[in-house]
Amino acid sequence: MSYIYLESIGWFSLTLFVLLLIIRCIILITFGKKSALGERKKDILKAFWLGGRFDLKVIAIANALPLLLAIPLYIIDSPSLFNFSAYILVAYYFISLSSIVLLLSIDVAFFTYFNEHINYMIFGFFDDDTKAVIETMRDYNLPLVIGVILALEVGLFFLAKFIGFYHLSSLHYHGWLVSILLIVFIVIDFLLARGTISSLPLGIMHARVSDNEFINKLCMNGIFSFTKAVKLRRQNKKGSYNLSKTYGFHNDPAEALLVMRSKKVTEPVKLTEHLSAYVVPNETATNQPPHVVLIMMESFASHILSFEEDNLDLMASLRKHFEQDIVFKNFTSDGQGTIESFLALTSNLPHRANCSNYPESRLINAEIKSSAAFVYKEKGYETSVVYGGSLTWRNIGTFLKFQGFDHVEGDSHIRKAIPKRTNTYEHSWGLHDEYLFDYLKQKLKQAKKPQFIVALNTSNHPPYNYPETYDLGPSEITSDIEQRLMCSRKLMKQRLEVYQYANSVAGDFMDWLKDSELAEHTIVSMTGDHSFWGMYSYTDSELFQRYCVPCYFYVPKNYLPETIDTSIFGSHKDILPTLYHMSLSDVNYLTIGTNLFNLEASHYAFNSSELIAGPSGVVTLVPQPQYYQWTDDYLVKPSDKTQELQSILEYYKAAMSITDMFIRDCH
């Protein structure tokens, strides 16, 4: 065998290393904030150095097969077999290069949307409505994208052919040099695959070189992140992924309860007892139980509202209600996607990071005893879920039927009840919002019993369109947004218009409600499912704002709490406990969250990105704990670990571990 065979492996390695380096540079240039990173050149160099080690680990694993193939070729020393091996190498290199380029492209696209490398959420593409996803992609120049991909594939084929056939241009010979080179290559490849000579192989836990979140993300590459996501996916499918073990509690609820509730438990722990809370007798709620309407708005983000100007009206008719009623602004979504947040809301449990959604797991037919519908049914309510799209989406129709809801209704139910008024009755993901809100009005007007309704709209979702009958208000892209754009101006303008449309329809619903006889005995809450991803960039100091959504309450005066502090922190886990204490009387419920109007309780915001926020600051857990303190307007700056910030992190770990243990008991 010629030593030039090993040079083919060398060329392949060099090609991958340069490719991975280019992608890291693209992420730095595209998503890095020059003003924030200018003084962190040493940290960036450290990130590229560590990133190079991660890249070499990927390359070493990719080289394992060619090196194994080299051993029999060296021993047998057959020129014909040696020549045939070139075709195997060409096929292997082409498949490897194509797969890696595809994954890296997906990683950059994922980073554009979530400001994260590929993670467990990537599988949502396969679990989502495939037809709607494909229609959503029409917003992008698909012919150009397909053309670039085809041209790239042709280029990769010729590159693989050059690398695979490179060694055939040399004479074949045996000798001690080839033996030594082969052994050296195998040893080096093994060491690079481990990434380190220490006891622990190089892993995500090592990806921290700075107190800057973005710089730490530069260390990783999409291949490494994807393999972790696949591993988590496999573990979730088997039911073997244990979040409480990941967070250090090892299925020990007593230890977690001690951290979370400062409650020492010695006897065998029954979680339903220790997660139980109580609503005291309430004469008003007993005599006249109010209707309760809980609305989750698609992409109803908070931070974008800070860009409103005279020529950009985002709140439309909803603005006056936000000014008149109760709005919590230090509030985050539980999930990063719609399905995660919606299930967190209906189950009254925070979404567990890196875990399967209930309808896409063995829990599809399980009762989640913390579900809000069970609580309201116990007090005589008629309970409903109303979704503006198809109930087949992510299996929610099947799952929600087991969660105590009397009615689980989707677009087909709305079509039968609400006549079509315009040519554009629907969009790719469901009906336009005005039909959903008309259906809610109808349900409330026809109600014979107190109603508990959870609704999810669909309009503010790509591809962005709205009925031609809507009278669009000012929707120009402001100069501040222009400076942050991460998409085309056309796409951004479409999103701003649909954001306005959705808020306008929601505001019209509140106008109708407040002008009706229902106003005195109907409580309404609105929140967003996730933030405004993929359209404009956030600064490093806006770490918290990336995940913020509003939490709005309309509460008639007879049900209003005595004390209100809208500056406290919260997330979706806290909405239902808050509604329980205003609308119900003398009832027990299961919860991880707290009543937002209970000023004596500890209040924290959770997000499944493993971000936790509280009065003392913010902590992120990926890849390793990073601590931030507040500056002005709830912006953040890096901080050393303090006792207060560490307590926030431990509280989060304990709460999520308890949630995980509780869910496992539901199997």
pLDDT higher at 135 or 371: 371
Q: What is the mean pLDDT of the chain?
A: 88
pLDDT tens, position by position, 66-92: 888 777 777 776 777 777 777 888 888
Q: Choose the most confident range, by mean pLDDT, from 35-39, 122-126, 241-245, 411-415.
A: 411-415
3-state secondary structure 455-483: EECCCCCCCCCCCCCCCCCCECCCHHHHC
How many other C-beta atoms lie within 10 A of the C-beta of residue 527? 25
- The reported pLDDT for the residue numbered 641 is 94
pTM, whole model, 2 decimals?
0.86
Distance CA 284, CA 199 (A): 64
- pLDDT range class, residue 329, cuts 50, 70, 90: very high
Report residue 510 CA to chain centroid gap. Answer: 30
Lowest mean per-residue pLDDT among 34-43, 63-72, 475-484: 34-43
Distance CA 54, CA 196 (A): 10
What token pair was written down for 521? 């005995």
pLDDT tens, position by position, 534-570: 788 898 899 999 999 999 999 999 999 989 999 999 9
Give strand pairing partners of 571: 332
CA atoms within 13 A on the CB side of 352: 25
- The reported pLDDT for the residue numbered 638 is 93
What token pair was written down for 636? 């953040």
Nearest alpha-carbon partner for 358 in 344, 338, 337, 378: 344
Decide: 219 and 100 in contact? Cβ < 8 Å: no
- The reported pLDDT for the residue numbered 3 is 46
SS3 content of the chain, % helix, strand, coil (to 5): 55, 10, 35
pLDDT higher at 176 or 153: 153
Decide: 328 and 570 in contact? Cβ < 8 Å: yes
For the cut 90, the answer to whether the pLDDT of residue 579 exceeds it is yes
The residue length of the chain stands at 667
For the cut 80, the answer to whether the pLDDT of residue 667 exceeds it is no
Neighbour-count burial of 281, counting CB atoms closer than 10 A to its CB (0-12 exposed, 13-18 middle, 19+ buried): exposed
- pLDDT range class, residue 121, cuts 50, 70, 90: confident
Q: DSSP code of 309?
A: B
Residue 195's contacts (CB-CB under 8 Å, 6 or more residues apart) are: 53, 54, 56, 57, 201, 202, 203, 206
Decide: 315 and 507 in contact? Cβ < 8 Å: yes
pLDDT higher at 469 or 439: 439
Nearest alpha-carbon partner for 594 in 614, 608, 618, 620: 614
Mean pLDDT of the region 13-22 = 92
The CA distances from residue 603 to 568, 596, 648, in Å, are: 7, 8, 10
Residue 444's contacts (CB-CB under 8 Å, 6 or more residues apart) are: 291, 293, 451, 453, 513, 518, 522
DSSP codes, 170-188 = S-----HHHHHHHHHHHHH
pLDDT tens, position by position, 405-450: 999 999 999 999 999 887 778 888 889 999 999 999 999 999 999 9
- pLDDT range class, residue 404, cuts 50, 70, 90: very high
Distance CA 363, CA 107 (A): 30
Lowest mean per-residue pLDDT among 123-137, 191-205, 286-300, 551-565: 123-137
pLDDT higher at 38 or 353: 353
Nearest alpha-carbon partner for 345 in 277, 301, 387, 296: 296
pLDDT higher at 149 or 303: 303
* Whether residue 623 has a cis bond before it, omega within 30° of 0: yes
